[in-house]
Homo-oligomer: A and B are copies of this chain.
Amino acid sequence: MAPAPPRVEIGNEFSRPDGVPVVALAGGVGAAKLVRGFALEGLGRRLSVVVNTGDDLEAFGLRICPDLDTITYTLAGLSNRTWGWGIEGDSFRCLNALGRLGADTWFGLGDQDLATHLWRTSLLNQGWGLAAVTAQICEALGVEVSVLPMAEGYTPTLVETDAGRLHLQEYLVREKCGPRVRGFEYTGLDSQRPAPGVEKAIRNARIIVICPSNPFISVGPILAVPGIRQAVASSPALVAAVSPIVGGRALKGPAAKMLEELGHPVSAEGVARIYRGLLDVFVLDERDAGSAPAIERLGMRVVVRNTVMDTPSAKRALARALLRLL
């Protein structure tokens, strides 16, 4: 029924001389916007996106990788912009039928989205690694950018809350980020290594961009994969981060709530402090320009731009600004 698909190539062709190799460390929606901006700027295979898999979920025996899929679907032009996850125009006939059978259905699984999880799980069960599966899916969907999982194992982030310890998706989706957060556990990451292609991409990059993603549940797990933080720190690339906090608020998701509950300043500066020591440049939104001096005192250059990527041209403009940092 499912013969091995064609062999796939993982990672970028660094021998290509035509431009600057870029690495983006990415979570979900915010990252996808910036990554889309780079793609619209024509980076193609010069861009490697290292994606968080700490938000992965195993349900109904399927390996579900929400951040990986958000990045892939966005690059393939399939993403559902209204929901912020899944596929445009998707339906829930299978999920509704699962509910009729007695299954828990709090996690959204669209019918088309489900195909990705089934196919991925099927290939993993045939012995493929997650990086190869991701590369094959990207190839099938016409995505030229190199999308790489941070690591290949299933290493779900657990959220310690006043309602107990929750799987990240239980916290995000089932509990709608309600419980107060006390901390995080990146389960199993200690025994992981960067997925194939990740270290090479970081080593060859001229710019490494930490996308405007949640520092605790999106970027944190990526940097906690043994070897990745060190690779970023020792890379000759310029390392920049784009603030996920604009005007004291997160554009999407619980970043602001988490900063507050964990005792950090709920501001771009609060995020910059978390990345201190790793960054050459911190990119602030225009409305936070007043924070620039304080962030510069943390030992990084500050660049002020419009970081709210609500149009294709805004996405491209921010991507261009980052490429011009060199």
Contact = CB atoms under 8 A, between A and B. Distances in A.
Contact of A59 (B1, B112, B113, B137): B1
A95 interface: yes
B101 A60 contact: no
Contacts of A2: 59-60, 103-104
Given A1-B107, A57-B1, A102-B140, A97 B115 contact: yes
B119 A98 contact: yes
Contact of A122 (B61, B91, B93): B61
A59 B125 CA distance: 11
Contacts of A3: 104
A109 to B, nearest CB: 9
A157 to B, nearest CB: 15
21 contacts: A1-B57, A1-B60, A2-B103, A2-B104, A5-B102, A91-B111, A93-B112, A94-B94, A94-B111, A94-B112, A94-B115, A96-B115, A98-B118, A100-B141, A101-B116, A101-B141, A102-B119, A102-B136, A103-B115, A111-B111, A114-B114
Contacts of A98: 115, 118-119
How often does this chain occur in the complex, in copies? 2
A99 to B, nearest CB: 8
A78 to B, nearest CB: 9
Given A103-B2, A140-B100, A60 B119 contact: yes
Interface string A82-95: 00000100110111
Interface in A182-232: none
A121 interface: yes
A58 interface: yes
A3 B87 CA distance: 27
Given A94-B118, A101-B136, 14 more contacts: A60-B122, A61-B121, A61-B122, A91-B93, A93-B93, A95-B115, A96-B115, A97-B112, A97-B114, A98-B115, A101-B137, A101-B141, A111-B111, A114-B114
List 8 A-B pairs, minimum CB-CB distance, nearest first.
Answer: A97-B115, A93-B111, A1-B59, A97-B112, A98-B115, A60-B122, A94-B111, A60-B118
Q: Which of A102, A118, A137 has its CB near the most chain B CB atoms (within 10 A)?
A: A118
B104 A1 contact: yes
Q: Which of A59, A94, A111, A121 has its CB near the most chain B CB atoms (within 10 A)?
A: A94
A59 B115 CA distance: 12
Nearest to A124: B61
Contacts of A62: 118
Contact of A114 (B57, B58, B61, B94): B94
Contacts of A121: 60-61
B101 A140 contact: yes
Contacts of A96: 112, 115
A97 B116 contact: yes
Contacts of A102: 5-6, 119, 136, 140
A119 B102 CA distance: 9
